[in-house]
Structure 1
Amino acid sequence: MKIALVGYGKMGHMIETAAKSLGHEVVVTVDVAAKDASALVSAGDYAAVAEAVKKSGAEGVIEFSHPSAVIGNLNALIPLGIPVVVGTTGWAKNEAEISSLLEKTNGVAMRSSNFSIGVNTFYKIVEEAAKLLSEYSEYDVAVWEAHHNQKADSPSGTALEIARRVMKGNSSKTEMVFDAFHERPKANELHVSSTRIGSVPGTHTVFFDSPADSIELTHRARSREGFARGSVVALEKLVAKLASGELSRGKLYGMEDLF
């Protein structure tokens, strides 16, 4: 497959390596700062992003840019009609807008806060644990995550998805709190806290705590290579399922739709 990469930072370079190792051709790399990108565009010039991708003849796009640019990129890329896989996080509040654009243009996109198979398995484990322990009021629950100090958003998209899974399993938790507490937390509040330090690729822990004992579930990434390879596999599956008719155009999909 001919693949366009929009965002050519550390993750973009890893995705390029993964794509080539899986037998694909990276036909264009687009970025606003990376001097080795094949298409260097000005910040905010989303028309130039779309033009570079269109000229490349790409059959699929992987977007791993920045939270401040992702919506502009998607608004420019989706009308091209090329399947888009989105790894940039921090735009959950705009999903309805993007879904509407996909429906209007008959485009197709897939987004995930984390393409790791291990993380997606972890989501299911957390949801089941939350469901089991929700029967016992003495168990409280909280979510914590740590990432490298270059990460632009907080909490991570993965932490937000973990929190959603906790709330799905435990209906007594109805509100996420990201800030520090200055009073006792309410019973319905789920604390989701973040740490940014050094070069940590990603650690996520869910705590279940009672007066008698504590349970900790942790996923710890060793590197970001799994995320890079996973994004390429996601694009492969998205294109294949569109071709087979398992998925239809005009929609925004997630990992659960592909794997």
Structure 2
Amino acid sequence: MKIAIVGFGKMGHMIKSSAENFGHEVVATVDPVAKDADCKVEQGDYEAVAKAVKESGAEGIIEFSHPSAVMGNIKALIPLGLPLVIGTTGWNDKKDEIRNLLAQCNGIAMTSANFSIGVNLLYKIIDEAAKLVSAFDEYDASVFEIHHNQKADSPSGTALDIAKHLMANYPKKTEIVTESFHERPKAKELHVASMRLGSVPGTHTVFFDSNADTIEITHRARSREGFANGAVHSLERLAEGIKNGSLQRGKLFEMSDLF
């Protein structure tokens, strides 16, 4: 597949390597800052982004830019009609707007808080574990995550997704708490705690604890390569879904839809 990468920072470079390792051709890298991008565009010139992608002959797009640019990029790229994987986060509150645009333009896109294959396996494991553990009242549950000290948000989007998967299958927990407790937590409260340290790519753990024992389920990323590989695999599945008719245009998919 001929792929265009919009956003050519650290993740963009990893995605290029992953795509080429999987036998694809990266026909354009588009970025306003990166010195080695194929196409340098002015900051905020989203028409130029779309033009660069269109002229490259790309058959699919992976967007991994910055929260300040993601909405402009998405709105410019969807009308091209190409399968679009959106790796940039921070626009959850705009999803309905993007769904409407996809429907109008007959486009197709996919987004995820975390493109790691391992993390998406983790979601499935937590679904099943929570169902099993919830049958025993003596167990409590919590979520913990640790990331590098350059990460700006806390808790991670992945930690919140883990919490949602857990609560969907663990009726005792109905409320997520991300701040420190200054009193005893209520039984219904699920604590999602965070730490920022050094260069840690990302570690997420679910705890089920009783007086007798503790069960821990952990995903530990060794590098960001897993995110890049997952983004490329997601674009492959989007393109294949369009080709074989298993995916309908005009929709925004989550990685769970393709997994």
Q: TM-score, normalised by structure 1?
A: 0.93
Residue 24 of structure 1 corresponds to which residue in structure 2? 24
Name the SS for the 1:69 alignment partner.
helix
CA distance in 1, matches of 2:250, 2:208: 40
How many pairs align? Answer: 259
**Cα distance in 2 for residues equivalent to 1:225 and 1:239:** 21
Output the CA distance in 2 between the equivalents of 1:154 and 1:114: 15
Give the distance between the partners of 1:174 and 1:42, measured in 2 at CA: 46
Shift of 1:232: 0.9
Residue in 2 that maps onto 1:125: 125
C-alpha displacement of 1:236: 1.0
Q: CA shift at 1:56, angstroms?
A: 1.6
Question: CA separation of 1:132/1:112 partners in 2, compared to 1, >3 Å: closer, same or farther?
Answer: same
Whole-angstrom CA distance in 2 between matches of 1:213 and 1:23: 47
TM-score (structure 2 length as normaliser): 0.93
Comparing 182-191 and 248-257, the one that deviates more: 182-191
- Counterpart CA distance in 2 for 1:221 and 1:123 is 15
Distance 1:153 1:73, change over 3 A: farther
Q: Which amino acid aligns with 1:56?
A: S
Q: Partners of 2:94 and 2:187 in 1: how far apart?
A: 29
Written as runs of structure 1 = structure 2, the 5 A alignment for 1:223-238 is 223-238=223-238
Give the equivalent residue in structure 2 for 1:52: 52
1:203 corresponds in structure 2 to 203
Is it true that 1:176 corresponds to 2:182 in the alignment? no
Cα distance change on mapping 1:41 and 1:189 into 2, 3 Å: farther
CA distance in 2 between counterparts of 1:30 and 1:153 reads 25
2:190 corresponds to 1:190: yes
* Equivalent residue, structure 2, for 1:167: 167
Work out the CA distance in 2 between the residues paired with 1:172 and 1:93: 27
Q: CA deviation at 1:146?
A: 1.3
Aligned to 1:102: 102
Q: Which range moves more in the overlay, 65-74 or 118-127?
A: 65-74
SS in 2 for 1:3: strand
Cα distance between partner residues in 2 of 1:176 and 1:38: 43
Q: 1:131 to 1:27 in 2, by over 3 A?
A: same
CA contact (8 A) 1:5 1:62 kept: yes
Query: What does residue 7 of structure 1 align with?
Result: 7
Determine if contact 1:207/1:217 at 8 Å carries over to the other structure.
yes
Name 2:250's counterpart in structure 1: 250
CA distance 1:167–1:21, shift in 2 (3 Å): same
Range with greater deviation from structure 2 (88-97 or 22-31): 88-97
Which amino acid in structure 2 is aligned with residue 145 of structure 1?
A: E
Unaligned runs of 5+ in 2: none
Which moves more between the two structures, 142-151 or 16-25? 142-151
* Percent identical: 66
Q: Deviations over 1:108-158 (max 9, x none)?
A: 001122222221111111111111121223222111111222334332222
Distance 1:210 1:250 in 2: 47
Deviates more, 1:244-253 or 1:220-229: 220-229
Question: What residue in structure 1 maps to residue 36 of structure 2?
Answer: 36
How far apart in 2 are the matches of 1:149 and 1:33? 23
- RMSD of aligned Cα (Å): 1.6
Q: State the one-letter code of the partner of 1:72.
A: G
CA drift of 1:28 comes to 1.2
Is the partner of 2:109 in helix, strand or coil? strand
Q: Distance in 2 between matches of 1:156 and 1:70?
A: 18
- Bigger drift between 60-69 and 11-20 goes to 60-69
